[in-house]
């Protein structure tokens, strides 16, 4: 086989997602054909080591991507901020969001929306950057960005290392944030992880990916993602781009 492929995996506890299984882990790659076997092997290892426990159902999906459909974009430049407390980190996040033309009201609503989630969503909420009103209608599922990867793994990882970063979390977050930032009408993003051991989060904009530590307390299993967009954005079109447009990020 030749060309690019989308490889997606999701694992659940109890039974498959469609039958009400509890989501455990998911990941996806967009890779050259000759890497498919090793990528699937890596995904299986990731499930085996998952901090939330064992999977009962694992679903793999592999789809060919047409080269002509792929967009290539540059990775966002990385910044790093460390705060003394979660409260201080929240203020840093709100400041960064305001610098990206997001209103103070919408920025605070965004923080509170993630802070008060009873359980983590699988995707992102889309908020009006002026009023803070939620615009997507995906309820507790959220909008899931998909079909994205870095174009050259080695270059991308060395770009992360040059900022003192390594690990899958930052790799995936920077790819996702870079893709989101290429969407028409996008202004910024706020995210922190649902991994109980990972307390960093970030604010992204069209200009940067600003990693902020700690945006939550250790052992907290709730995370979330919010995309802030301009008023009047065509939401179905935006979701189509986020979910479906094959995107490779170049470091």
Question: What residues line the site for ligand AMP (CB under 6 A)?
Answer: 120-124, 142, 144-145, 173, 176, 191, 193-195, 223-225
Distances (CA, A) of 211 to 82, 111, 179: 8, 15, 16
User: Least CB distance from residue 176 to ligand AMP, whole Å?
Assistant: 6
Shortest separation between residue 249's beta carbon and ligand AMP, angstroms:
14
Whole-number minimum distance, CB 105 to ligand AMP, in Å? 22
Phi, psi of 179 (to 5 degrees): -65, -50
In the complex, residue closest to ligand AMP by CB:
193
Q: Give whichever of 121 and 251 is closer to ligand AMP, judged by the CB atom.
A: 121
Which residue, 144 or 245, has its beta carbon nearer to ligand AMP? 144
CB of residue 143 to ligand AMP, shortest distance in Å: 6
Minimum CB distance to ligand AMP, residue 33 (Å): 23
Rounded CA gap, 7 and 54, in Å?
Answer: 21
Element holding 158 (H helix, E strand)? helix 153-161
The secondary structure of residue 134, as a DSSP letter, is B
Taking the least distance from each CB to ligand AMP, the nearer of 16 and 117 is 117
Neighbours of 192 (CB within 10 A): 27
155 vs 251: CA distance, rounded Å:
6
56 vs 195, beta carbon nearer ligand AMP: 195
CA distance 233 to 28: 27
Give me 70's structure tokens: 């792929």
> Which lies closer to ligand AMP via its Cβ, residue 128 or residue 194?
194
Q: How far is the CB of 114 from ligand AMP (least distance, A)?
A: 8
Q: Which runs of consecutive H residues, i.e. helices, occur in 72-128?
A: 86-99, 104-115
Closest CA to 189 of 117, 246, 125, 248: 125
* Residue (75 or 191) nearer to ligand AMP, CB: 191
Token duo for residue 35? 């890497």
Nearer to ligand AMP, 191 or 251 (CB): 191
Mapping DSSP to helix (H, G, I), strand (E, B) and coil, where does residue 202 land? strand
Centre a 10 Å sphere on the Cβ of residue 178 and count the other Cβ atoms it contains. 22
Q: How far is the CB of 39 from ligand AMP (least distance, A)?
A: 16
């Amino acid at each position: 086989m030749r060309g690019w492929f989308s490889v997606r995996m999701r694992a659940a506890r109890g039974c498959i997602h469609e039958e009400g299984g509890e989501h455990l882990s998911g990941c996806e790659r967009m890779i050259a054909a000759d890497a498919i076997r090793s990528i699937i092997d890596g995904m299986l290892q990731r499930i085996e080591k998952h901090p939330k426990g064992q999977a009962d159902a694992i679903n793999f999906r592999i789809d060919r991507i047409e080269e002509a459909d792929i967009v290539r974009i540059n990775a966002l430049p990385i910044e790093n901020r460390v705060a003394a407390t979660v409260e201080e980190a929240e203020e840093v996040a709100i400041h960064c969001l305001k610098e990206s033309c997001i209103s103070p009201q919408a920025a605070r609503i965004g923080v509170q929306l993630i802070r008060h989630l009873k359980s983590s969503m699988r995707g992102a909420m889309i908020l009006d950057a002026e009023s803070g009103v939620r615009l997507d209608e995906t309820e507790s599922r959220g909008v899931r960005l998909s079909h994205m990867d870095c174009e050259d793994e080695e270059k991308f990882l060395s770009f992360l290392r040059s900022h003192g970063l390594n690990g899958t979390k930052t790799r995936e977050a920077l790819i996702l944030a870079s893709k989101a930032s290429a969407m028409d009408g996008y202004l910024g993003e706020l995210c922190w992880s649902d991994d109980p051991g990972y307390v960093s989060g970030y604010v992204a904009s069209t200009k940067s990916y600003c990693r902020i530590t700690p945006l939550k307390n250790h052992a907290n299993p709730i995370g979330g993602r919010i995309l802030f967009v301009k008023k009047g954005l065509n939401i179905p079109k935006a979701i189509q781009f986020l979910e479906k447009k094959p995107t490779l990020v170049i470091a």
